[in-house]
Structure 1
């Protein structure tokens, strides 16, 4: 079912990238970046750039790696492979088109990739700009 197209709010689109894991058996979230985009296409472009940046740091090409090639290893079969999932998401034209369309219709989009220790979350949500008709109320302390 298609929802009616809503105009992008003048507040833009808030894009967020985070990593979720655990430390000392406690949940931990690390913000990896935040950006306010002016259009759905620019929001998705920024998210793709962050996804490639994460993938390249988790899984560098051996000839460009900042560590000796012998220190790198292939992900064993059956273990979640976040860098490959991130690269596949970036390259999937249909998913990217769906993300732009979702944002264009005022919906939040989210993509998650996981490895054996961490979940990487990329999301974007249209945000409304404050109404010029609403007066700011200041409270005295």
Structure 2
């Protein structure tokens, strides 16, 4: 995981190329992927690389103040079905700590995110021609030691 300034130039290029390949071309959804949030100081990019440095998958972690936001979760078409999205989510949730986490899931992936404790929090909506649902996972309370007798 890294901030944008910590990503090697070729890795950053490959991250954005993969997002474009899947979200814009494969899903036939022209939208402004480069929205400026990748450049925010608190944004972190979780990137899975193979031994040759090829980007296999990536996601973006955003700090939205009181809660964290996970987005742009993508796995390269050639390596789907190998559990790599789960690896990405495990890393992202570790970054989130005990905070509430929000995301907008493509409707067909709702069950995947429910497996991580996310719940649908609102109605389905169309985002750039792809149906999504807002989801959230409650923050995890800090454990407090019981009072001493």
Same fold by TM (over 0.5)?
A: no
Task: Tell me the TM-score normalized by structure 2.
Answer: 0.25
Q: Answer with 1 or 2: which has the greater Rg.
A: 1
Task: Tell me the TM-score normalized by structure 1.
Answer: 0.26
